[in-house]
Amino acid sequence: MPTTKPKQKIFAFPNMPTPNKPVLIDPKVCKGCNRCVQICPSDVYIPNPEKGKPPMIMYPEECWYCGCCLMECPLHQKGANKLNWPLMQRVRWKRKKTNEHFRVGMPDPPPPNKRPLV
Protein backbone atom coordinates (compact mmCIF):
# COMPACT_ATOMS: atom_id res chain seq x y z
CA MET A 1 0.00 0.00 0.00
CA PRO A 2 1.45 3.40 -0.90
CA THR A 3 1.70 5.87 1.91
CA THR A 4 0.77 9.48 1.41
CA LYS A 5 2.61 12.21 3.19
CA PRO A 6 0.64 15.14 4.52
CA LYS A 7 1.40 18.41 2.79
CA GLN A 8 3.47 20.50 5.13
CA LYS A 9 4.90 23.95 4.81
CA ILE A 10 8.66 24.22 4.92
CA PHE A 11 10.16 27.26 6.60
CA ALA A 12 13.66 28.70 6.23
CA PHE A 13 14.99 31.01 8.91
CA PRO A 14 18.22 32.97 8.39
CA ASN A 15 21.14 32.64 10.77
CA MET A 16 21.14 35.71 12.98
CA PRO A 17 24.22 35.42 15.23
CA THR A 18 25.17 38.97 14.33
CA PRO A 19 23.19 41.92 13.01
CA ASN A 20 25.14 41.60 9.77
CA LYS A 21 23.79 42.41 6.32
CA PRO A 22 26.69 41.89 3.91
CA VAL A 23 24.66 42.82 0.83
CA LEU A 24 21.90 45.41 0.75
CA ILE A 25 19.22 44.51 -1.79
CA ASP A 26 16.65 47.04 -2.99
CA PRO A 27 13.38 45.11 -3.48
CA LYS A 28 12.04 47.88 -5.72
CA VAL A 29 14.83 47.33 -8.27
CA CYS A 30 15.68 43.63 -7.87
CA LYS A 31 13.56 41.41 -10.13
CA GLY A 32 14.46 38.11 -8.44
CA CYS A 33 16.48 36.59 -11.30
CA ASN A 34 18.55 34.65 -8.69
CA ARG A 35 21.80 34.98 -10.62
CA CYS A 36 23.46 36.04 -7.36
CA VAL A 37 22.23 32.82 -5.74
CA GLN A 38 23.87 30.75 -8.47
CA ILE A 39 27.21 32.60 -8.56
CA CYS A 40 27.87 33.04 -4.81
CA PRO A 41 30.91 30.88 -3.87
CA SER A 42 29.93 30.68 -0.20
CA ASP A 43 26.18 30.01 -0.71
CA VAL A 44 25.04 32.99 1.32
CA TYR A 45 21.69 33.29 -0.53
CA ILE A 46 18.69 31.10 -1.16
CA PRO A 47 16.02 31.87 -3.76
CA ASN A 48 12.90 33.54 -2.47
CA PRO A 49 9.89 31.18 -2.59
CA GLU A 50 7.82 34.04 -4.02
CA LYS A 51 8.63 34.45 -7.70
CA GLY A 52 9.97 37.90 -8.63
CA LYS A 53 11.10 38.72 -5.08
CA PRO A 54 14.75 39.29 -4.10
CA PRO A 55 16.70 36.31 -2.76
CA MET A 56 17.03 35.80 0.96
CA ILE A 57 20.38 36.09 2.72
CA MET A 58 20.48 32.99 4.88
CA TYR A 59 24.07 32.90 6.11
CA PRO A 60 25.35 36.49 6.40
CA GLU A 61 28.35 35.51 8.50
CA GLU A 62 29.65 33.34 5.63
CA CYS A 63 29.96 36.24 3.16
CA TRP A 64 33.49 36.79 1.81
CA TYR A 65 32.67 40.26 0.41
CA CYS A 66 34.10 39.10 -2.92
CA GLY A 67 31.51 40.99 -4.99
CA CYS A 68 30.66 38.12 -7.35
CA CYS A 69 26.96 38.69 -6.76
CA LEU A 70 27.31 42.37 -7.67
CA MET A 71 29.23 41.64 -10.88
CA GLU A 72 26.71 39.01 -11.96
CA CYS A 73 23.62 41.13 -11.26
CA PRO A 74 22.15 42.65 -14.46
CA LEU A 75 20.55 45.48 -12.42
CA HIS A 76 23.53 46.35 -10.21
CA GLN A 77 24.14 49.64 -12.05
CA LYS A 78 20.52 50.61 -11.34
CA GLY A 79 20.99 50.06 -7.59
CA ALA A 80 19.59 46.56 -7.11
CA ASN A 81 22.32 45.61 -4.63
CA LYS A 82 25.46 46.91 -2.97
CA LEU A 83 28.04 45.63 -0.52
CA ASN A 84 27.69 46.74 3.07
CA TRP A 85 31.27 46.48 4.32
CA PRO A 86 31.90 45.98 8.04
CA LEU A 87 33.01 49.17 9.76
CA MET A 88 36.55 47.93 10.26
CA GLN A 89 36.97 47.24 6.53
CA ARG A 90 35.62 50.51 5.16
CA VAL A 91 38.30 52.52 3.38
CA ARG A 92 38.82 56.04 4.75
CA TRP A 93 41.30 58.78 4.21
CA LYS A 94 41.99 62.17 5.72
CA ARG A 95 42.97 65.42 3.99
CA LYS A 96 45.87 66.78 6.03
CA LYS A 97 45.34 70.47 5.31
CA THR A 98 41.67 70.59 6.31
CA ASN A 99 41.39 67.48 8.55
CA GLU A 100 38.37 66.36 6.50
CA HIS A 101 37.58 62.64 6.58
CA PHE A 102 36.40 60.83 3.46
CA ARG A 103 35.39 57.27 2.66
CA VAL A 104 34.53 55.27 -0.44
CA GLY A 105 30.92 55.70 -1.51
CA MET A 106 30.39 59.20 -0.10
CA PRO A 107 27.90 61.35 -2.04
CA ASP A 108 30.49 64.11 -2.63
CA PRO A 109 33.95 62.56 -2.59
CA PRO A 110 36.94 64.81 -3.24
CA PRO A 111 38.37 65.02 -6.76
CA PRO A 112 41.04 62.43 -7.58
CA ASN A 113 44.67 63.23 -6.94
CA LYS A 114 46.26 64.53 -10.18
CA ARG A 115 49.83 64.74 -8.87
CA PRO A 116 52.31 62.31 -10.42
CA LEU A 117 53.74 59.59 -8.19
CA VAL A 118 57.13 60.33 -6.64
Give the residue with greater pLDDT, 109 vs 59.
Answer: 59
Considering the entire predicted model, what is its pTM?
0.63
Question: What DSSP string describes 19-63?
Answer: ---SEEE-TTT-----HHHHH-TT--EE--SSTTSPPEE--GGG-
Domain that holds residue 68: 23-85
Question: Could you give the C-alpha distances from 10 to 16, 32, 62, 95, 110, in angstroms and in order?
Answer: 19, 20, 23, 54, 50
* Digit-coded pLDDT (tens) for 94-106: 878 888 877 766 6
- What is the pLDDT confidence band of residue 16, given thresholds at 50, 70 and 90? low
Decide if 116 is inside a domain. Answer: no
- Backbone dihedral angles phi then psi of residue 70, each to the nearest 5 degrees: -70, -40
Q: For the domain that residue 66 is a member of, what is the CATH number?
A: 3.30.70.20
In a domain? residue 54: yes
Is residue 1 a part of any domain in this protein?
no
Domain count, the chain: 1
What per-residue confidence (pLDDT) applies to 32? Answer: 94
- Measure the CA–CA gap between 110 and 100, rounded to whole angstroms: 10
Q: If pLDDT is split at 50, 70 and 90, which confidence band does 85 have?
A: confident
Cα separation values, 13 from 10, 46, 57, 60, 89, Å: 10, 11, 10, 12, 27
Query: Would you state the pLDDT for residue 80?
Result: 94
* 64, part of any domain: yes
The answer on pLDDT for 25 being more than 60 is yes
* Residue 7 covered by a domain: no
Nearest to 56 by CA among 19, 16, 18, 13: 13
